[in-house]
Amino acid sequence: MLQTSYIEISRKAYRNNLRYLKKIIGRDVVFSSVIKGNAYGHGVENIIPLAEESGIHHFSVFSACEAYKALEILSPRSQLMIMGFLDDEQIEWAIENDIAFFVFDMERLRKAVETAKILRKRARIHIEVETGFNRTGFEYGSIDTLVALLKQYHDHYVFQGLCTHYAGAESIANYLRIKNQITKFRQFNRYFLRHDLRPEFCHTACSAAALTYPNTIMNLVRFGIAQYGFWPSPETHMFRFRKDSSDANPLRRMLSWKSRVMVVKNVEAGSFVGYGSSFLANKKIRIAIIPVGYANGFSRALSNTGRVLIRGRRVPVIGTVTMNTMTVNVTDIPNVERGDEVVMIGRQNRMSISIASFCEMSEQLNYQLLTRLPADIPRYVVP
Ligand SMILES: Cc1ncc(COP(=O)(O)O)c(C=O)c1O
């Protein structure tokens, strides 16, 4: 093993998640697999082929940089959509490569259609409208100018989508805000239709919206976190739990993160372990050093609080997590030795450490933890 840890991606779990989510949206709705943030830490090089073999041919990224990488892996049949950052210099590249992109201001719209005109190739645009998130999107007040421009340049683009993003569909506390966003989106759509501007796709739903507000599903859904087996929030899980009337969690986590024991040794009673004095051995203990630290994605906040699995048992992290190592207390586990498997996230025998518990311990969102798993940790697809 060259790297100090590795990540396993379960094909079976991914297929299970896709089956469940596809059933919710129905056969006629396009499933766009959101693969930004290195496919939420799972590795685009793994997720794109897995999604394609399950019949998914639409992918969403945030930036041109992510699109470059995705394009190297995508099969020619698949479509790519940039939902965020795309500098003027990359617009030509995007149009030439048939990459669709969100358009959320007049400057980008003008640049897109003018570039398309020069290239004699239509730009595939998704008009993003501001409905209440207050991030990107055309304001309703600018709709007349927008419609006029779209009509003027109608030969130079394909109106692929009309879209928006919700401000926190994973929490009931935002219910009114989401409801108002849906109403506002419909208002935009009606206006476009009245002016004979009919988008191929209307898309507003991310995972939480699709799972809890069925009327946000429309004809394309941008699924991020749920496809990877995570609930956007405990509330979303509870909502589905009651609706699906099944005790079993329909989503399966597909990522495990593992390493190996590097060193095992004894520490005498009265000695401190690691930097400083945050852990004092009050009796003779046996410790194992694991070659994974905060530079490898194991948060320093897990010092003296984290847990890992060794020989099917949960063992505590003691002392501070350093840049490249952590120390765990293996006193109660007989025969731990160098080379033993260590599970930071995932299952070992009958024990497991979930991302959720990991997040709780380090006070991170599952989204944040996943996307912070360093890209250089090797990832392997397992059956
Ligand atoms: C515009 C947009 N659509 C879809 C998603 C996917 O969201 P989720 O991972 O909650 O499904 C995101 C993620 O932040 C997003 O920014």
- pLDDT of 153 above 90: yes
Span between the terminal Cα atoms of the chain, in Å: 20
pLDDT band of 357, cuts 50, 70, 90: confident
The atom of ligand 1 lying closest to the CA of 84 is: 1
**Residue 257 · residue 5 · CB < 8 Å:** yes
Ligand 1, residues 130, 133, 174, 222: which to mutate, most atoms within 8 A of Cβ? 222
Residue type, 29: V
Global pTM value = 0.94
pLDDT band of 203, cuts 50, 70, 90: very high
Would you state the pLDDT for residue 383? 96
CB of 222 sitting under 6 A from ligand 1: yes
- pLDDT of 351 above 90: yes
Whole-angstrom Cα Rg for the chain: 24
Question: How confident is the model over 235-294, as pLDDT tens digits?
Answer: 998 888 888 877 788 999 999 999 999 999 999 999 999 999 999 999 999 999 999 999
Ligand 1, residues 47, 61, 63, 165: which to mutate, most atoms within 8 A of Cβ? 165
Cβ neighbors of 346 (< 8 A, separation 6 or more) are: 8, 253, 255, 256, 257, 258, 309, 352, 353
The Cα 2–Cα 277 span in angstroms is: 32
pLDDT band of 363, cuts 50, 70, 90: low
Domains of the chain and any CATH numbers = 11-244 (3.20.20.10), 255-382 (2.40.37.10)
The atom of ligand 1 lying closest to the CA of 227 is: 11
Atom 13, ligand 1: residue with shortest CA distance: 224
Cα-to-centroid distance, 329 and ligand 1 (Å): 39
CB of 165 sitting under 6 A from ligand 1: yes
